Amino acid sequence: MKLERSHHVVHGDHLITRSPGLVVYVTCGDPNLTTSRRVILSAIDAGADVIELGVPFSDPLADGPVIQRASERALRVGTSLADVLKLAHEIRHERPGAGLVIFSYLNPVIRFGMERFASEARAAGVDGVLLTDMTIEEADDYRRLMQAHGLSTIFLAAPTSPDARLKKIAEASQGFVYAVSRTGITGTHQQADLKGETMRLVRRIKKFTKLPVAVGFGISTAEHFREVGRFADAAVVGSAIVKMIEENPGQEAEAVGVFIRQLRHGVI
């Protein structure tokens, strides 16, 4: 099914419509919301297909030091889930064709109110939601609520998951399935086994779904992007983007735009 938007809500199954697609993660509010907005617009214009709008959280256990520092900076300036939803609305207005996914831990959403979150995310033009610590076994009510508001539910699939669990994850996912390239935390410091374990994981997932499969964790170079594109539908780049923001104060949007164009054209 093609991507179809009605009142800025995706009613199709796919958020990734070209191969290889590029999913870019940004910690919203790092170093401030104005900069995040500029970075996200630059990323879309440079070739990002989907933006994961990261909600800063005080205890990001699944993230490495780069994203942990970004969350700390964002929280220091008071960034909240409400701010992220407002930012999503602004991005949707300015770049109506981009895929927008709220990427969060469960705690901020529970504190905000799950029903309120679903309603406001839809109103903001968000396409989907990925709650990194929402397990498939506990997701029935969450899935029903998100789907009632036209929001795709995206789940993580790990190399250690048996086929029976991958099947449940694939059946519960909409938009795309996020394949974790390795166990452990996010970051560019650990090399994923893209030609071995990750490729096998993607092939296992594809036995159970026709959705696009995006590979994330440790994807940081044009070589990684090309390699992932040989067997998956998209690559997720997160820590490398966040690090680019951290290392280029005052020039964050420009640096991210250059980096994404280089990824797309294979020159880094």
Backbone angles phi, psi at 47, to 5 degrees: 130, 5
Distance of CA 258 to the CA centre of its chain: 20
C-alpha 18/C-alpha 158 separation (Å) is 24
CB within 8 A of 15, min separation 6: which ones? 3, 49, 50, 99, 101, 127, 128, 152, 175, 176, 212
156: enclosing H helix or E strand: strand 156-157
Q: Which residues are catalytic?
A: 52, 63
Tokens representing 119 are 């309603």
Encode burial over 212-232: b for 16+ CB neighbours within 10 A, e otherwise: bbbbbbbbbbeebbebbbebb
Q: Which residue in 247, 245, 262 sits closest to 32, CA to CA? A: 245
